[in-house]
Amino acid sequence: MAVISMFFGVFRELADARLFNSVRPFFGSIRWINGQDLCPDTLYEESKPIAAKP
């Protein structure tokens, strides 16, 4: 899931930085305080590796 696509449809309210920053781990996935969450499979399949900090 591209980050930009998260701000459309049911994820539109996550464009609010305060709400977006309320994300927490939730049973193998992530969830926001408003109850929005991502499917663990989608989160895994759409994730991208990042370079380690030195």
For residue 5, the model assigns a pLDDT of: 62
How far apart CA 33 and CA 9 sit, in angstroms, is 18
How far apart CA 54 and CA 40 sit, in angstroms, is 29
Within a domain: 22: yes
Within a domain: 37: yes
pTM beyond 0.85? no
Containing structural domain, residue 38: 3-45
Within a domain: 51: no
Within a domain: 17: yes
DSSP per residue, the chain: --GGGGGSGGGGGGGSHHHHTT-EEETTEEE-TTS-B--HHHHHHT----PPP-
Within a domain: 54: no
pLDDT 10s digits, 4-20: 466 778 888 888 999 99
Within a domain: 52: no
Domains of the chain: total: 1
Best CA proximity match to 38, nearest among 5, 17, 16 = 5
Within a domain: 50: no
